[in-house]
Amino acid sequence: MITCFHVPYSALTMFLSMDQRERDSATAYRMTMEVLGTLVGAAIQGQIVASAHTLKHCPTHNMSAGNLGNSSGAEIKEVYMIAAGVIGGVFIICTVVMFLGVKERDGETEKQIPFYKGFILVMRHGPYLTLTAAFLFITVAIQLVQSNFVLFCTYAADLRDHFQNIVLTILVSAVISIPLWQWFLQRFGKKTAAFCGITWIMPFTMMLVFIPNVVVAYVVAVSSGLSVAASLLLPWSMLPDVVDDFRLANPYSKGHEAIFYSFYVFFTKFAAGISLGVSTLCLEFAGYDTGACKQPTPVVYTLKLLIGAAPVAFIITGLMILLLYPISEDVRLRNKVCLDELRQVEFIKGHLLIKRGTPPILMGNWEHRRQQRSQRKMELICIMGIVGYSVFLNL
């Protein structure tokens, strides 16, 4: 159900505006609200379920998971059900606000090609494949850090009393830094911002692995928030540029935004599944004991690898693929100019077709225009005359 909401919600960015700068601004605002919502949700749920975990410290000897808290199983279940109800209610309210408050631009009136043909065209578009593959590896790295951070703080760094505050520090840093990355990408370009933002996390995670103390942990939390913000903002800001590039490469194939966004969401979920599977298998092979207050030495080494070396390897791989991403700032600006010219020509053609009484469903239909070659010649003559007259007036 979350995916059914996430795909159209993400694709709405393409329909809010045709201007690239406005879309980037909308993406930055959306990601800021998403991270802020995550922060609020974590705080709300943390306060609700805190009563179910009253025992904060493990004793010196090992004990089973059932003895780690003072609350019974029924009480813990009830508390978590209350937390789920509250978060679900907030989710429904926010969905209704978005549905009533967002005004979508009218889509294309052109006849769309079948889904499977559009899917083949999208999967053959090089910039989309490059961007998706690069951020697939980067997302796996970020998910590895996120999914194993609590275990690392508990068993490998002896920071079990601080990990909740550390997580909140990461989220606060991410919320604050998203506007910073928005300014940075506008000033230096999206590709440069992606490299700077993603590489920022690598030295700090390695520092936490080798120097696991409280001060370093909070420094790493602030720095990790910067990279988490970049990893959330940059792909969603670069994806509309890929759609624009596809639009220019396939000017008569429209309405495929949902394919672009849905499969990117799929690969994001796939990355989360990969990180979870890798973490589970590695910890199980190392001898992880669920609920134990102390883990064996191989588990500690495995957690250090999952927090340090493994994410760095995935990030480097993703950045190497991102080097092949062809849409630089010059290409993006050139695409913007070409798209503006293409929309102006289509507007003039549509206006001429309306005057002649052509049905709207046939406007812009390439097959229909090809069958009526004589009318197309007249259209081109009229367009050239209008353009020539406009140039003459500007002179």
Is residue 238 located within the same domain as residue 266? Answer: yes
Note whether 192 and 316 are same-domain residues: yes
Residues 271 and 305 in one domain: yes
Does one domain contain both 350 and 275? Answer: no
Place of tokens 């049905």: 359
Among 73-77, 170-174, 254-258, 363-367, name the most confident range: 170-174
Overall number of domains in the chain: 2
**What is the pTM for the complete model shown?**
0.75
- Boundary residue ending a domain (327, 355, 382): 327
Are 37 and 135 within one domain?
Answer: yes
Structure tokens at 36: 């802020």
Is residue 31 in a domain? yes
Q: Which among 259, 245, 232 has a CA at the least distance from the CA of 29?
A: 232
Domain assignment of residue 332, yes or no: no
Q: Are 152 and 261 within one domain?
A: yes
* DSSP-derived 3-state class of residue 248: helix
Q: What is the pLDDT of residue 364?
A: 44
Residue 361 above 70 pLDDT? no
Residue 58 forms part of a structural domain:
yes
Examine the domain organization and report whether 353 and 241 are in the same domain.
no
Which region among 167-181, 233-247, 286-300, 364-378 has the lowest average model confidence (pLDDT)? 364-378
203 in Cβ contact with 174 (< 8 Å): no
| 118 located within any domain | yes
Among 327, 352, 381, the domain boundary falls at 327
pLDDT at 105: 60
Residue 335 lies in a domain: no
Average per-residue pLDDT for the chain: 76
The answer to whether position 388 is within a domain reads yes
Determine, yes or no, domain membership for 333. no
Same domain, 14 and 115: yes
**Percent of the chain, pLDDT > 70?**
74
Cβ neighbours of residue 76 closer than 8 Å, sequence gap 6 or more: 52, 69
Residues 46 and 158 in one domain: yes
Question: Half-sphere exposure of residue 47, counting CA atoms within 13 Å on the CB side?
Answer: 7
Token digits for 70? 């003072």
Pairwise CA distance, residues 365 & 362, whole Å? 5
For 243, the domain range is 2-327
Q: Are 70 and 192 in the same domain?
A: yes
Position 45 in a domain: yes
> Is 26 in the same domain as 168?
yes
Which of 294, 327, 360 finishes a domain? 327
Residues 224 and 107 in one domain: yes
Angle at 378 between CA 372 and CA 383, to 5 degrees: 125
Q: Encode pLDDT of 20-70 as tens digits.
A: 777 778 788 877 887 787 777 777 776 676 555 544 445 544 444 444 444
> 244 falls in which pLDDT band (50, 70, 90)?
confident
